[in-house]
Amino acid sequence: MPGLKIIIPKGRLHGRVVALLNDCGFGVDSDERSYIPRVADRGIEAKLLKPQNVPRLIELGSHDAGFCGRDWVEETGADVVEVMDLGFDPVTIVAAAARAFSGPKRRGPVVAASEYERLARRFLERRYRRYIFIRTYGATEVFPPDDADVIVDNMASGRTLQEHGLKVIATLLESSTRFIANRKALRDPGKREKIGQMKTLFRAVLDARERVMLEMNVAESKLAEVVRVLPCMRAPTVSPLFGGKGYAVKTAVRKLEAAGLITRLKKMGARDILETEFRKVVV
The H-assigned helical ranges of 147-273 are 159-163, 183-187, 189-209, 223-229, 255-267
The predicted pLDDT at position 2 comes to 63
Q: Please tell me the distance from the alpha carbon of residue 149 to that of residue 158, in angstroms, as a whole number.
A: 18
For residue 106, pLDDT over 80 is answered with: no
Give the sheet arrangement for strand 65-69, strand by strand: 44-49, 4-9, 65-69, 177-181, 81-85
For residue 103, pLDDT over 70 is answered with: no
**Amino acid at site 43:** G
Quick one: average pLDDT of 212-231?
92
Contact 180, 59 (CB under 8 A): no
Q: Please tell me the distance from the alpha carbon of residue 162 to that of residue 114, in angstroms, as a whole number.
A: 17
Quick one: average pLDDT of 263-277?
93
On the 0-12 / 13-18 / 19+ scale of CB atoms within 10 A, 20 is: buried
Quick one: average pLDDT of 201-224?
93
H helix and E strand count, the chain = 9, 16
Q: Residue 188: pLDDT band by 50, 70, 90 thresholds? A: very high
The mean-pLDDT minimum among 26-30, 273-277, 278-282 falls in 278-282
Tell me which of 209 and 33 has the higher pLDDT.
209
Q: Residue 58: pLDDT band by 50, 70, 90 thresholds? A: very high
Quick one: average pLDDT of 69-97?
96
Quick one: average pLDDT of 33-42?
90
Task: Tell me the pairing of strands 166-175 and 81-85.
Answer: unpaired
The predicted pLDDT at position 69 comes to 96
For residue 50, pLDDT over 70 is answered with: yes
Nearest to 114 by CA among 74, 66, 163: 74
Look up the pTM and report it. Answer: 0.84
Q: With pLDDT > 70 as the criterion, what percentage of the chain qualifies?
A: 96
Q: Find all residues with CB under 8 Å of 44, minimum gap 6, and list them.
A: 3, 4, 6, 26, 194
Q: What pairs with residue 180 in β-bridges? A: 66, 82
Kindly list the structural domains of the chain, giving each domain's residue range(s) and its CATH number in brackets, ordered by start: 4-88+176-208 (3.40.190.10), 91-174 (3.40.190.10), 211-277 (3.30.70.120)
The predicted pLDDT at position 104 comes to 61
The predicted pLDDT at position 138 comes to 87
Using the 8-state DSSP alphabet, how is residue 219 labeled?
-
The mean-pLDDT minimum among 125-134, 224-233, 249-258 falls in 224-233
Distances from the Cα of 179 to the Cαs of 175, 253, 278, in angstroms? 13, 27, 23
On the 0-12 / 13-18 / 19+ scale of CB atoms within 10 A, 159 is: exposed
Distances from the Cα of 6 to the Cαs of 48, 56, 70, 93, 173, in angstroms? 9, 13, 17, 26, 26
CA geometry: angle at 272 spanning 271 and 274, to 5°?
Answer: 125
Q: What pairs with residue 171 in β-bridges? A: 94
Quick one: average pLDDT of 49-62?
96
The predicted pLDDT at position 100 comes to 84
